[in-house]
Every structure is written in structure tokens, then in C-alpha cells.
Chains A and B, each alone.
Chain A
Amino acid sequence: MSLLSITDLSVEFGHNRTRVLDQACLSVEPGQRLGLVGASGSGKTVLASAVMGLLPDNAYVMGSVVFQDQELTTMRDKEFSALRGQKMSMVFQEPMTALDPTMKVGRQAGELIGLHQQTSPKATRTRVEEIFDQVGLSHASRIAEAYPHELSGGQRQRVVIAMALVNNPDLIICDEPTTALDATVQAKVLTLLDEELSRVNAACLFISHDLGLVSRLCEDVAVIYAGRIVETGPTAKVFHDPQHPYTAGLVATANIDAVTPGERLPVIEDFFDPSQEVRS
């Protein structure tokens, strides 16, 4: 039984019912890491939001999302709240906006524990410092007393990752977790994510437009184009022997090192005509 199985999930927005996600099918097994790659506007974040129950009120959701034998699309807010942050959690792209600027980060992380279990303030505090320590924040007790603006981008993203891990969830959704970070910081945060996912044995849906990152972290990958999943499979196979022309284009454009410097870079349109009907 899959941990998460998404079947024919479509999402439409607003009066005109603009279709952003079109009959997407995906499944994530326990402990599996699945990358989701695609261009901006392809529906990556909408898919993540649909799974997390974070879509705005003007969204129409069709199809089914089953997580640990529970149907999420029809779940009531109260039950969903018990699930979010506990069994499934999310790491957002921009750690500055994901954190509350007016609250010390230790208290923010502690709040997440308190929502899901009865603990004494002291036990919460110990757990927060323990998890901060685990994600490589040195001087955990000092960091816990800091406000988000007092931390660097890398430290903030470590706090967000710590918060996603604090209740030992079964599924973590990472939405472009390192886009806002520098190359060297990104490498460190990625290593951390890699180790922590293995340690708690959590499954991960890793959303990114950076194919290099996905091939580093995920054994499997799904490619999304214009709201449709066009290809799914083991990462090495999909990137080396892409079946869908869009995937072929994506791989060629991403692989900038393969092009002789100064020569024209391949673009998606060399492989794939966007005006054509998308085959699933």
C-alpha cells in the first residue's frame, strides 16, 4: 500500500475554472524520495498545496488524494490539522516568509510540538534544542532565542527543516527548499536533508526545477508539464533516456556543461513543440 497515492487529481481556479492541474497521478511509497520537476507555472506547487490541503477557497479539486488510507480531498479542516505537521509536513521555498518574523524561532518550533502532543514546556524546550542540534545549528539554545531576522538564510532554512522534522513525519514535501540559498549553502542544506530523511526514514516529495538537485537526492522522478505528469520513473533512467520529448528538452537545457562554451544552448522548443497536444 502506498503512503501517498494521487489519482486523477485536477485543480481548477476561479470563475473561468482555469485548469492548473490536469488528471495528475502519482504515488509515493514509505521512505521513497520522489522528485517533481517542471517549469514555473507547470503546477508543481499547486500539486503540493493540494496534498497539504493548503489550496485557497477559490480552487476546485477533483480526483483523489489518499494518504495512509485516508482520503484527503474531502477531509474536514479539523482532521486535516491533526495530520499536518504531524504525519506530513512541508519545507517551503522562502524561509523568511515561512517563519513568523515576530516570534522567536524556538517558540515557533515548540508550538508545532504542543499542537500535536501534551508536553511540559520544559520537555518541549529540550526537544526543540535537540532537533536544532540535529539539523546542524550550533549553539541550539542561543538560536532558539533568536528572531528569524537575526539568522542567516541558511540558518533559517535549517530552522524550517527542523520544524518539518520535529514530529517525525512519514512524508515531507519540500517545495524548492534551496532556491533562495547560495550554491555553497545549498550544498550543505541538501546534505542535511539527505541525512535527516534517511535517519527518520521519511518519504519525500521534492519539488524543484533544478534537475541536478533532484538527481542528487531522489531515486525517482516525475516530470510535470502544463499541469500534466508526462513521465515518471527512476531518476537515472528518466534523465539519461527520456521518453517524452518535453523531458528530453528539459534535460538538454539543464545540462549546460555539455555545451561547448559560447555555442548556442539547446532550448526546449528544439525538442518539443508546446503547441502540440500533450500526450500523457
Chain B
Amino acid sequence: MTAFLLDHVNKVFGGRRREVNALSDLSLTVAQNQRWGIVGESGSGKTTLLKILAGLMPPTSGRVQFLDRDLDLNNRATMASLRSSVQMIFQDPRSSLNPRMKISDIISEPLRSPLLKGRTDVPTDMRARVDEVLSEVGLPLDSADRYPHEFSGGQRQRIALARALAPRPKILLADEPVSALDVSVRAQVLNLLNTLVDSFELTLIMVTHDLGVVRHTCDYVGVLHQGVLVESGPVSSVMNDPRQGYTRELLNAVPRLDS
């Protein structure tokens, strides 16, 4: 089964006079249990791609399938199954967690979606599920009654992960999950992400500009440049033998410690 299939997807922003092709003729197949890293600079279309996968906006043209069914934003049943099986974590946990909600409410919010009412594949005992995911991400159980401001950046990203895991998704989308964290915390969050993806057999699609993170976490990589997927394939072959000038430029741009 494929997790995601994109077939000649285009996304155009703007009207008659100033059109921007955020994604041009993008085709990509993500099989289940693969770990994809999508790299590219700002404005290359990384986030647009992720938003289309998450069902937050429709493509202008082209076909998107998830878990072998067509993604139709107007079909309630499709969206319900998308929301239960595809979850997302964002770059900055400072802005992706509501400061006025308790951690328990933040984590259980995806479970309370009206779309998911009556579905059997979604946990129903919310309190128990909150405790369960909190321990899975390595946070103390008394975190449930606290507020986001009481946590550090790394801990907040753990909370965001807990929220994403709550409905037992099959696919995890991550938008620059560690770039707002500093190096010392980055390692902890990446270790956790790896462990969770392993133990819950998740499909991971991670957008990042950090090629080191991709090399470490992913087994496939796609390089986006100005809305075009210029290169894609297994991490080892793309990174060791980049076919495109742009990929090479991106690889050389990363300052290394042992130079």
C-alpha cells in the first residue's frame, strides 16, 4: 500500500496578473513505512507540499491519493480517515501550542474532532490516552494539568509529538521539527522521533533544510527547487552522488565541524 501518491500535482497562487507556481508538475510516490526528507530553500514549495498532503489546501491540478484512496477535501468520510491517519508537527512549538489550553486538552484535541466521532480506530478514553502518549514521549504524567509556557522548547516539541500520536496515526508529517531548537536539544528530539517512528511503524514525511538531519533520519530524499522536484531517491545515492547542480550547492552550503 502506498502512503501517498502525487500525480502531476500543480499549485498556483495568485490571480490573473501575478501567478506564482508554488509546485509544478510534481509526481511522488511514498510507500508505507518509508521515511522521506523533503529539502529545499525558503519559497521552494516545501510547506505547500506538506499542506496539500495534510489536506489543508487542494492542489490546483493533479491527483493526490493517500492510503490508496483519492484525497477529496469535500468528502467527509475521506477527511475523517485522513485526520485519523495523518498527523502533523510544526516547526515552532511556541506558536503551534495554544497558550491558553492545558496540555491534556492540547493532546486530546485531535481526538475530539467531530470528524472522528464514532470511529473505532480512534482511542475513546481520552484521559488514558493522554497519559499513554505523555509517557511515550518521555514527559511526566503531571504535565497534563500544566500550560505550554511552563515547558522548554524541547519539551514543547515533545508535547506536539504527543498530540500528533494521540489518534494513532499511520503517517506523520513534520515541518522543520527541529530547526527552532538548539543543537543540544535537537539530538534528544531526533532520537525520540526515530524511536517513535520505529515502534509505531509510522510513515514519515519531514520537511527540513538541514541535510544532516535528513541523512540521519530518512531513507529517501526529495529536493525541491522553485516548486520543481529536481531530484529524488534513496538518501545515500542522492547525497553521495547528486545529479543536480542545485543539490550539490545545497550539500556544500552546510558548514561542517571537521573541515
A residues adjacent to B (C-beta < 8 A):
39-40, 153, 182-187, 190, 209-213, 215-216, 239, 249-251, 253-257, 259, 261-262, 264-268
Contacts and interface: CB of A to CB of B under 8 A. Distances in A.
A40 B94 CA distance: 14
Contacts of A262: 194, 216-217
A183 B191 contact: no
A261 B216 CA distance: 4
Given A153-B42, A183-B250, A253-B187, A261 B255 contact: no
Interface in B209-259: 209-213, 215-217, 219, 235, 249-250, 252-259
B184 interface: yes
Interface in B76-104: none
Interface string B190-215: 11001000000000000001111101
A211 B215 CA distance: 18
Contacts of B212: 256-257
A229 B82 CA distance: 50
Nearest to A272: B184
B58 interface: no
Contact of B259 (A185, A187, A215): A215
Contacts of A249: 184
B183 interface: yes
20 contacts: A182-B42, A182-B209, A183-B254, A184-B250, A186-B253, A211-B183, A212-B254, A213-B255, A239-B257, A253-B183, A253-B184, A253-B187, A254-B183, A254-B257, A256-B212, A256-B213, A257-B215, A259-B216, A267-B184, A268-B187
A187 B184 contact: no
B41 interface: yes
B255 A212 contact: yes
B153 interface: yes
A263 B156 CA distance: 24
Contacts of B194: 262, 264
A73 B153 CA distance: 32
B183 A185 contact: no
Q: Is the interface of B mostly helix, strand, loop or mixed?
A: helix
Give the most central of B184, B187, B217, B219: most A CB within 10 Å. B184
Contacts of A266: 187
A239 B153 CA distance: 26
Contacts of A182: 41-42, 209
B257 A183 contact: no
Nearest to A251: B257
B146 to A, nearest CB: 19
A267 B187 contact: yes
A212 B257 contact: yes
B216 A216 contact: no
Contacts of A184: 41, 249-250, 253
B150 interface: no
Contact of B217 (A211, A215, A239, A261): A261
Give 5 closest A-B pairs by Cβ, nearest first: A212-B255, A187-B253, A265-B187, A256-B212, A182-B41
Contact of B41 (A183, A212, A253, A267): A183
Contacts of A212: 254-257
Given A182-B209, A209-B183, A250-B184, A264 B253 contact: no
Interface string B38-49: 000110000000
Contacts of B182: 39-40, 209
Contacts of B219: 261
B185 interface: yes
B255 A267 contact: no
